[in-house]
Amino acid sequence: MSEAIRSVTRQEQKERTREAILASALELSQELGFAQVSIRQVTRHAGIVPAAFYRHFESMEQLGLTLVEQSFATLRRMIRDAQRDPHVLDNIIDESARVLVEAVRQNKAHFGFVSRERIGGSPVVREAIRHELDLFVSELAVVLARLPNIENWHSDDVRMASRLFVRNMVDHAEELAELPVSSDGLEHRIRERARREMRLIVIGFRDWHS
């Protein structure tokens, strides 16, 4: 086996170990809460020795920050992809509700993690989640600023509107993350409720004077 092939194999194994650690921490946090999960529990669950943990993460806090980053990555990517589609601006309410449901469906464990840790997690993880939500507010504000009735608003008011959207989405994402498997009817109802509430927010744009 050539050195190049051995290097690729080692890198693949390293990445598999890292993913096993993350997956184990995510699964254990569902049962115990992330703040109660120890390095020893994670490594036992992942089937590795404790020393292997430190080749990937300095501490459980760093592991928690990585889980937060992973949890928001898909949603942020889907929002950015949606921004490139001119159809989205014409149907922002329906598209926002659709993106929300699809993102939670693809990453239910991660959204469950955010839901649990956003309020009851460790201070470091809570702060990381708040930071990610603030970034989400800022990115969504860029999209909202292009809408009719809002394009001439002060930036503070655009962020206020964006924050209302994000709070609505977070609330319904937490509901969706708690649904059991095969709950299409309930999922549809939550999506419809999110759509109606966002529509109510948008209707208020016409009468708001920045």
Task: Kindly report the CATH number assigned to the domain that includes residue 83.
Answer: 1.10.357.10
| Whether residue 134 is found in the same domain as residue 199 | yes
> Using an 8 Å Cβ cutoff, are 140 and 78 in contact?
no
| Whether residue 42 is found in the same domain as residue 125 | no
Residue 87: what pLDDT? 61
Residue 142: what pLDDT? 86
> Using an 8 Å Cβ cutoff, are 88 and 95 in contact?
yes
Residue 62: what pLDDT? 95
pLDDT above 90 for 99: no
| For residues 4-32, average pLDDT | 85
| Whether residue 74 is found in the same domain as residue 107 | yes
| Whether residue 201 is found in the same domain as residue 185 | yes
| Whether residue 26 is found in the same domain as residue 124 | no
pLDDT above 70 for 191: yes
- By CB neighbour count within 10 A (0-12 exposed, 13-18 middle, 19+ buried), where does 3 fall? exposed
38, 57, 76: which is the final residue of a domain?
Answer: 57
Going from the C-alpha of 164 to that of each of 28, 56, 195, the distances in angstroms are 32, 37, 13
Longest dimension (CA), the chain: 71
| Whether residue 34 is found in the same domain as residue 128 | no
Q: Which residue has the higher pLDDT, 16 or 87?
A: 16
Q: Is the pTM of this model over 0.75?
A: yes
Rounded Cα–Cα distance for residues 22 and 195 (Å): 33
| Whether residue 6 is found in the same domain as residue 42 | yes
Render pLDDT for 50-94 as a digit per residue (tens, 0 to 9): 999 999 999 999 999 999 998 888 777 777 776 666 665 557 778
Mean pLDDT across the chain: 86
Render pLDDT for 147-160 as a digit per residue (tens, 0 to 9): 888 888 999 999 99
Residue 130: what pLDDT? 94
Residue 5: what pLDDT? 54
Percent of all residues in the chain with a pLDDT value above 70, rounded to a whole number: 91
> Using an 8 Å Cβ cutoff, are 186 and 172 in contact?
no
pLDDT above 80 for 1: no
Residue 88: what pLDDT? 59
Residues near 112 by beta carbon (within 8 Å), at least 6 away in sequence: 30, 177, 178
| Whether residue 81 is found in the same domain as residue 32 | no
| For residues 108-123, average pLDDT | 89
Q: Could you list the residue range(s) of the whole structural domain that residue 30 is in?
A: 1-57
Residue 23: what pLDDT? 95
Q: In this structure, what token pair is assigned to residue 103?
A: 């993102």
| Whether residue 80 is found in the same domain as residue 135 | yes
Question: Structurally, how many domains does the chain consist of?
Answer: 2
Task: Kindly report the CATH number assigned to the domain that includes residue 29.
Answer: 1.10.10.60
| Whether residue 87 is found in the same domain as residue 154 | yes
| For residues 168-175, average pLDDT | 90
| Whether residue 86 is found in the same domain as residue 163 | yes
| Whether residue 35 is found in the same domain as residue 122 | no
